[in-house]
Amino acid sequence: MKNLQKLGGFAAFYLAIAYLVTIPIFIFILDYPNIVEPSQKMDLIVNQPMLMFLTNIISYVFFGFFLILLNLSLYEKLKDKTPNIMKAATVIGIIWACLLIGSGMVANAGMTQAIALYQGNPVQATTLWLGIEAVANGMGGQNGEILGGVMTLLISIAGLRGGLLSKSLSYLGIILGTVGIISIVPGLTDLCSVFGLIQIIWFIWIGVVLLKQTQMKAVYNLRE
């Protein structure tokens, strides 16, 4: 359990770093949120395929695997006092992680096909990418962070009830989870950005807690 908790701490830090690295790339380098014309999106993919590919790997594929590690670590930590809540939170968290992995893989596979088609038929390639992007975005939570929201909310409730997470961290998670759930409401999907930004803080805080408690247990065992 100690090793799993340590892995969970490092996983939480990766998740925060992934956000910190890829958000500026999407916003400032690729300027993807401001590109609305299908032809412009296709031009971006053709001109920046490697950067798009790596960004998807970091922020979706690897993110999903590290998210699974974090969920398993938190399950081991919180299951004894709140078993049912943590079972639900872990299942939802792993579903979310799998969808994120799938989103990144679909996007990268779709880009490869669209770029190959672009040379002979730009219009058809653009149409193909629009369909692939819709599927990848749906899997990745672009239309609302319902899975991430529910997962975070349940973990925070479990931590609060069991007294194994601080009240401040638990309340932050409850707020974060609520924002994620609300973001699925039509017209409120912009809250996904708020969810992501707050989650950076939550991941870092969770990582510190897991690693600190691991170190404290190691020191206690040495004294014994």
CA dist., res. 132 & res. 146, Å (int): 21
Q: What's the rounded mean pLDDT across residues 137-149?
A: 94
Q: How far is CA 99 from CA 25, 141, 151, 197, in A?
A: 22, 9, 14, 20
pLDDT of the residue at 64: 98
Q: What is the pLDDT of residues 149-208, one digit of tens each?
A: 999 999 999 999 999 999 999 999 999 999 999 999 999 999 999 999 999 999 999 999
pLDDT of the residue at 219: 41
Q: Are 148 and 169 in contact (CB under 8 A)?
A: no
pTM of the predicted structure, to 2 decimals: 0.93
pLDDT of the residue at 220: 40
pLDDT of the residue at 91: 98
- % of the chain beyond a pLDDT of 70: 94
Domain layout of the chain by residue ranges: 2-223
* pLDDT above 90 (res 3): no
* pLDDT above 60 (res 223): no
pLDDT of the residue at 62: 98
> Of 44-48, 90-94, 206-210, 216-220, which range is least confident?
216-220
Q: Are 132 and 106 in contact (CB under 8 A)?
A: yes
Binning pLDDT at 50, 70 and 90, where does residue 213 land?
Answer: confident
Beta-carbon contacts of 200 under 8 Å, excluding residues fewer than 6 positions away, are 16, 19, 20
* pLDDT above 60 (res 69): yes
% helix / strand / coil in the chain, to the nearest 5? Answer: 85, 0, 15
Q: What's the rounded mean pLDDT across residues 77-99?
A: 97
Please report which helix (H) or strand (E) contains residue 142, including its range.
none
Q: What's the rounded mean pLDDT across residues 108-112?
A: 96
Question: What are the φ and ψ backbone dihedral angles of 165, each rounded to 5 degrees?
Answer: -120, 145
Q: What is the pLDDT of residues 13-60, one digit of tens each?
A: 999 999 999 999 988 898 887 888 999 999 999 999 999 999 999 999
Residue 164: CA count within 13 A, CB half-sphere: 19
